Structure 1
Amino acid sequence: MSSLLDTRCLILCLFFLLATYTFHYICHQIHQRQVSRAKGCKDAQSKAPVKDRFIGFDFIYDCLFTKPIDKYLDYTYKTFRQLGPTYVCQRWTWEATYTCDSRNIKHILASGFDDFKLPRLRVNAMMGLLGSGIFTLNGHLWSHARAVLRPCFAKQNKDDMVNMLETHFQALLRRIPLDGATVDLQPLFFWLTMDFATNFLMGHSTHVLDRASSHAKEKQFVDDYLTCSTEIVRKMQLGPLQMFSFNFAAMKARSRVFQYIDEFISASLDKEREHDEAANSGLNVLQGLAALTTDRKQLRDQILHILVASRDTTACLLSNLFFVLSRKPHIYEKLRYEVVSIAGTKPATSNQLNSMEYLKWCVQESLRLHPVIPTNAREASKDTILPHGGGKDGNSPLLVKKGNLVMYNIYAMHRDAGVFGPDPEAFVPERWDGLRPGWGYLPFNGGPRICIGQKFALLETHYLVSRMVQTFETIKANEDTEWIELYALATTCKDGVNVSLKR
């Protein structure tokens, strides 16, 4: 009798769960139809072809067996040219919308900001290796984190920053051969930006570029940091399959990264307590954060996240730019002429950098052609829309269901001939003369989540570019290879920047 009652109870529970699920499913369907009708949504103008649209074996097979595409960004650009600026990829288990339409991207990042959040898959991939910070938070937690960081950047002095940059630039010069022998600038740029970023953020530098000592601990940190970054990208590419992936080497690297940053924070704060003049120069972001919170984990996570933004993006931008300049001697000559005409052979001041128009054009063109964050994504936090992409002409709104992803592609958007003129795949700094692309150009994202350190990243880049062209009369690539991306947290040159420099 007891067994029969248990069976009936189990059946009733299963029936209740099934009925509840069915009820919620029907409610969701009704709500989606209401949103669709109210906003005038139509079916997607274009859909990506898939072999299996029911279970999603296409995606699973690609993740597990398909060899990564060397020129993935070009592949995405060609796909948009084939399918249109906005298209949908459907599976039985999920649906994603891909867009390079600036009007849709503006809606995602600004006018419809509250309807979207960071994707759970990206958050999970990053939090496991970098902790909880501005790149993994949503809602009021993100707002609080940004509010804490904003004044730390607002108080920075540009002239002090320039003086600090010069110290690290001199360390870079000592790594470049005097005899014009070939050197790969890319790792040097990554070391330089790491040295500067740790100096700027925490009051003292890793000094990886310094030859005076081995700096084995610092180099181990840089290697571990790269291991973590690579693993984050791999996990994001796995999508929902990332839960089945575990990398012991990356976990060990993460532990060492956390330990290194914790020790670095302790040393920096100890210097502050000792009233060390170098630590209190006004350039220490950590001090500003420490004044607002004593939570060491929060300090570590925030510093790691800012390090991603400040170190990786600037190093990638410098690498991408000098890869092109080494193959465009006429542009390098024109750039060098401007810098020397304004600043001579002495380091430029921040005011002089503001006067270097052609230098700004070169940096803008590099960010246009090779954006360091070429693709990004948002997840719909409720049933919502994109303003374009529906209907036969693509000009009607498109429904985006709660939980679905919208992947927006800056790389493809930056190649819009209607905005940037003819031959958009060519590096032409002069196209920026009078150009105002608006939301068609987003190297630092846009809306409330626009890069908080944009001005400082550009100042760092402008200064280092000006010092390079002042110091070296010519730069020449040793091989005529094309730019191919190394797809990481920030995108740079797969084959490095191997050049000969003449002082």
Structure 2
Amino acid sequence: MSSLSDSRCLILCLFSLVVTYTLRHISHQIHQRQVSQAKGCKDAQSKAPVKDRFIGLDFIYDCLFTKPIEKYLDYTYKTFQQLGSTYVCQRWTWEATYTCDSRNIKHILASGFAEFKLPRLRVNAMMGLLGSGIFTLNGHSWSHARAVLRPCFAKQNKEDMVSMLETHFQALLRRIPLGGETVDVQPLFFWLTMDFATHFLMGHSTHVLDRASSHAKEKQFVDDYLTCSTEIVRKMQLGPLQIFSFNFGAMRARSRVFKYIDDFISVSLDKEGENDDATNSGLNVLQGLAALTTDRKQLRDQILHILVASRDTTACLLSNLFFVLSRKPHVYERLRQEVLSVAGTEPATSNQLNSMEYLKWCVQESLRLHPVIPTNAREASKDTILPYGGGKDGNSPLLIKKGSLVMYNTYAMHRDTEVFGPDAEEFVPERWNGLRPGWGYLPFNGGPRICIGQKFALLETHYLVSRMVQTFETIKTNKDTEWVELYALATTCKDGVNVSLKRA
């Protein structure tokens, strides 16, 4: 009798669950229809072809067995050319919208900011390996973290920063052969930006470029950091399948990264009030954060996230730019002449850098053609819309259901011929003479989440580019290969930047 009663209870519970799920599903459907009708939404103009519209077995197979596309960014650009600037990939279990339409991207990042959040898949992938920082937070937590960080950057002195950069640039020069032999400058740029970022953020540099000692711990940290970054990208590419992925090597690397940063923070805070380097001059974001919180985990996570932004993006930008400059001697010559005419052979001041128009154009063009963050995503936090992408002409609103992903692609957007001209796939700095692309150009994101340190990233880049062209009369490469991306947290050159540099 008891067994029969238990069976009835089980059946009743299952029935209740089914009814609850059905009613909730019907409620969602009604709400989505109301939003769609109120906003004038229409079916997507274009849909990506999928083999399995229900479970997504083709997606699972591609993730597990298909070799990654080598030129993935060009592939995405060509897909937009075929399907239009906004299209939907729709399955019963998974729905995502892809767009390179600047009007839609503006809505996601600015006018409709409150209706979108960081995707759970990205948050989970990053938090597991980099902790909880500004790039994994949403809502009030993100607003608080940004409010804490903003004054730490606002108080920095540009001339002190320039002086600090010169110290690390000199260390870079000691790594470049005097005889003009070919050298891969890409890893040197990554070491340089790591040395500067740790110095700038924590007042205590890793000094990886310095040959004076082995720096075994620092090099291990850089390797572990790269391992974590690579694993994050791999997890994000797996999408919903990332929950089945576990990399023990990456977990061990994460533990070493956390310990290194914890130890580094302890040493840096112990040096508070001391002059660790001649150029320290109080440029210490960590001390600003430490004045607001004593939570060492929070300090570590925030510093690690800022390090991702400041180190990776600048190194990638420098690598991408010099890859192109080595293949365009006329651009390099004009750039060099401008820098010499403004600053001579002495290191430029921040005011002098600000007057170097062609230098700015070159950097802008590199960020346009090879954006270091070429794709990004948001998740709808409620039933909402994109203003364009629906209807036969694509000019009607498109319904975005709560929980759906919107993938926006700046790599493709930066190739819009209506904004940048018919030669949009070419590196032409002169196009920036009078060009005002607005939301059609987003190298540092936009809206409330716009990069908090973009001014300092550009100052760092402008200074290092000016010093390179002052120091080296020519830059050449023996390879006539095209740029192919190494798709990581920030995008750089897959095959390095192998060049021959002739000193002036």
Q: TM-score of the superposition, structure 2-length normalised?
A: 0.99
Question: Hey, what's the Cα distance between the residues in 1 that align with 2:426 and 2:209?
Answer: 34
**Superposed CA offset, 1:21-54 (max 9, x none):** 1110000000000000000000000000111111
- Report SS of the residue matched to 1:272: coil
Query: Structure 1 residues 431, 274: CA separation in 2 closer, same or farther (over 3 Å shift)?
Result: closer
Structure 2 counterpart of 1:174, one-letter code? R
Find the counterpart in structure 2 of residue 308 from structure 1. Answer: 308
Query: Structure 1 residues 434, 274: CA separation in 2 closer, same or farther (over 3 Å shift)?
Result: closer
Runs of 4+ in 1 over 4 A off after TM superposition: 273-280
Find the counterpart in structure 1 of residue 291 from structure 2. Answer: 291
Question: Hey, what's the Cα distance between the residues in 1 that align with 2:9 and 2:290?
Answer: 56
Find the counterpart in structure 2 of residue 203 from structure 1. Answer: 203
Question: Hey, what's the Cα distance between the residues in 2 that align with 1:115 and 1:502?
Answer: 53
Structure 2 counterpart of 1:36, one-letter code? S
Q: Is the 8 A contact 1:204 1:279 kept in 2?
A: no
- Report SS of the residue matched to 2:271: helix
**How far off is 1:5 after superposition?**
1.1
Query: Structure 1 residues 82, 392: CA separation in 2 closer, same or farther (over 3 Å shift)?
Result: same
**How far off is 1:281 after superposition?**
1.9
Question: Hey, what's the Cα distance between the residues in 2 that align with 1:495 and 1:277?
Answer: 35
**How far off is 1:58 after superposition?**
1.6
Structure 2 counterpart of 1:336, one-letter code? R
Question: Hey, what's the Cα distance between the residues in 1 that align with 2:142 and 2:93?
Answer: 29
- Report SS of the residue matched to 2:180: coil
**How far off is 1:421 after superposition?**
1.2
Trace 1:204-283 onto structure 2 (pairs within 5 A).
204-272=204-272, 281-283=281-283
Question: Hey, what's the Cα distance between the residues in 1 that align with 2:101 and 2:58?
Answer: 26
**Residue 386, structure 1, aligned to residue 386, structure 2:** yes
**Residue 443, structure 1, aligned to residue 459, structure 2:** no
Trace 1:124-143 onto structure 2 (pairs within 5 A).
124-143=124-143
**Superposed CA offset, 1:98-153 (max 9, x none):** 00000000000000000000000000000000000010000000000000000000
Structure 1 counterpart of 2:148, one-letter code? V
Find the counterpart in structure 2 of residue 66 from structure 1. Answer: 66
Question: Hey, what's the Cα distance between the residues in 1 that align with 2:144 and 2:240?
Answer: 29
Q: Is the 8 A contact 2:160 2:279 kept in 1?
A: no
Q: Is the 8 A contact 1:190 1:312 kept in 2?
A: yes
**Structure 1 unmatched runs, 5+:** none
Q: Is the 8 A contact 1:233 1:489 kept in 2?
A: yes
Q: Is the 8 A contact 1:89 1:97 kept in 2?
A: yes
- Report SS of the residue matched to 2:38: helix
Question: Hey, what's the Cα distance between the residues in 2 that align with 1:282 and 1:148?
Answer: 18
Question: Hey, what's the Cα distance between the residues in 2 that align with 1:345 and 1:187?
Answer: 26
Question: Hey, what's the Cα distance between the residues in 2 that align with 1:272 and 1:178?
Answer: 38
Find the counterpart in structure 2 of residue 39 from structure 1. Answer: 39
- Report SS of the residue matched to 2:397: strand
- Report SS of the residue matched to 1:473: strand
Structure 1 counterpart of 2:420, one-letter code? F
Find the counterpart in structure 1 of residue 188 from structure 2. Answer: 188
Find the counterpart in structure 2 of residue 88 from structure 1. Answer: 88
Structure 1 counterpart of 2:370, one-letter code? H
Structure 2 counterpart of 1:104, one-letter code? N
- Report SS of the residue matched to 1:250: helix
Query: Structure 1 residues 54, 342: CA separation in 2 closer, same or farther (over 3 Å shift)?
Result: same
More moved, 50-59 vs 282-291: 50-59
Question: Hey, what's the Cα distance between the residues in 2 that align with 1:446 and 1:128?
Answer: 26
**Superposed CA offset, 1:135-172 (max 9, x none):** 00000000000000000000000000000000000000
Question: Hey, what's the Cα distance between the residues in 1 that align with 2:222 and 2:277?
Answer: 27
Trace 1:335-414 onto structure 2 (pairs within 5 A).
335-414=335-414
Question: Hey, what's the Cα distance between the residues in 1 that align with 2:273 and 2:368?
Answer: 44
**Superposed CA offset, 1:418-459 (max 9, x none):** 001121000000000000000000000000000000000000
RMSD: 0.9
Find the counterpart in structure 1 of residue 318 from structure 2. Answer: 318
Q: Is the 8 A contact 1:203 1:279 kept in 2?
A: no
Q: Is the 8 A contact 1:272 1:279 kept in 2?
A: no
Query: Structure 1 residues 416, 103: CA separation in 2 closer, same or farther (over 3 Å shift)?
Result: same
Q: Is the 8 A contact 2:203 2:282 kept in 1?
A: no
Find the counterpart in structure 1 of residue 472 from structure 2. Answer: 472
**How far off is 1:2 after superposition?**
1.2
Structure 2 counterpart of 1:139, one-letter code? G
Query: Structure 1 residues 291, 165: CA separation in 2 closer, same or farther (over 3 Å shift)?
Result: same
Question: Hey, what's the Cα distance between the residues in 2 that align with 1:27 and 1:280?
Answer: 60
**Superposed CA offset, 1:147-199 (max 9, x none):** 00000000000000000000000000000000000000000000000000000
Find the counterpart in structure 1 of residue 499 from structure 2. Answer: 499
Find the counterpart in structure 2 of residue 454 from structure 1. Answer: 454
Q: Is the 8 A contact 1:268 1:279 kept in 2?
A: no
Q: Is the 8 A contact 2:275 2:281 kept in 1?
A: no
Find the counterpart in structure 2 of residue 107 from structure 1. Answer: 107
**Structure 2 unmatched runs, 5+:** none
**How far off is 1:4 after superposition?**
1.2
Question: Hey, what's the Cα distance between the residues in 2 that align with 1:227 and 1:493?
Answer: 17
Find the counterpart in structure 2 of residue 14 from structure 1. Answer: 14
Structure 1 counterpart of 2:18, one-letter code? L
Q: TM-score of the superposition, structure 1-length normalised?
A: 0.99
**How far off is 1:282 after superposition?**
2.1
- Report SS of the residue matched to 1:50: coil
Structure 1 counterpart of 2:231, one-letter code? E
Structure 1 counterpart of 2:98, one-letter code? Y
**How far off is 1:273 after superposition?**
5.5
Find the counterpart in structure 1 of residue 98 from structure 2. Answer: 98
- Report SS of the residue matched to 2:475: strand
Give the % identical residues.
90
**Residue 51, structure 1, aligned to residue 51, structure 2:** yes
Q: Is the 8 A contact 1:199 1:205 kept in 2?
A: yes
